[in-house]
Amino acid sequence: MKPILLVASKLRREEPPAVTSQSDTWMTVRQCAAHLQVHPVTLRRWIRLKKIPHIVLPGGGSDYRFMKSVVDEWGRNRALGRQK
């Protein structure tokens, strides 16, 4: 039986999406809590109460990500009294 060889030139490697600006980065719970200057427990409470925009990563359901630009807009709206 002959071994199967894969030709590297035929493999297609997908590149991650390019980040266009610093504000379009994704943050973890710790990073977002530090950015908002709150404790991570407070941020998780806001997640549970659906007060802050976030996405849930697949898996256990307790890992979240926050887009910096969306969190900044959310913070501006809260500061101006325009809460959703």
pTM, entire model: 0.68
The CA distance from 35 to 33, in Å, is 5
Residue 62: CA atoms inside 13 Å, Cβ hemisphere, count? 4
Is it true that domain 23-79 has CATH number 1.10.10?
yes
Segment 39-52 mean pLDDT: 96
Buried/exposed code over 53-79 (b: 16+ C-beta within 10 A; e: otherwise): ebeeeeeeeeebebbbeebeebeeeee
Q: What is the tens place of the pLDDT at every residue in 50-68?
A: 999 999 999 877 899 999 9
Q: What is the tens place of the pLDDT at every residue in 18-36?
A: 555 555 899 999 999 999 9
